[in-house]
Amino acid sequence: MLGGRRVAMVTRLAAFWFLLLIVGSLQPARPHAIAGLHRGIHLLAFGVGAFLLFSLSRTWRQQALSALATCSLGLLLEYLQHMIYRNPMEWWDVRDDTFAVVLAFLVMHIALMFRSRTSE
């Protein structure tokens, strides 16, 4: 569990992270230098975003809603790119975003499991 100051700090960090994610996703053009990193960027961006929200969640229900919200954001951003720029829907990006959320959930729970074992 996070203390009051840490909750405020993580909340601001999560808001900033998602703002960057949204603005970055809706840019009309991407540098060719990052084309090979596209999948990794999705995994990192959505994994970190989900992890931040999970760390603010107190219950399994809040974690599930955080996961759903993060996955929905990925789908919405891909749909907006499709509608705004007339790009084809990039379903593999939606898949990668969802995979990143699931991976963040697993990493967080494995870390919590090890932490509870070491504190016994």
pLDDT(28) > 90: no
Lowest-confidence region among 9-18, 34-43, 48-57: 34-43
* 2 φ, ψ (degrees, to nearest 5): -95, 145
User: Is residue 4 scored above 70 in pLDDT?
Assistant: yes
Please, which pLDDT band fits residue 33 given cuts at 50, 70 and 90? confident
As separate numbers, helices (DSSP H) first and strands (DSSP E) second, the chain gives 4, 0
The span from the CA of 92 to the CA of 38, in Å, is 11
Which helix (H) or strand (E) is 80 found in, with range? helix 60-85
Rounded-to-integer distance, Cα 82 and Cα 78, Å:
6
Query: pTM, whole model, 2 decimals?
Result: 0.90
Query: CA-CA distance, 49 to 15, in Å (whole number)?
Result: 9
Say which residue, 62 or 36, is predicted with more confidence.
Answer: 62
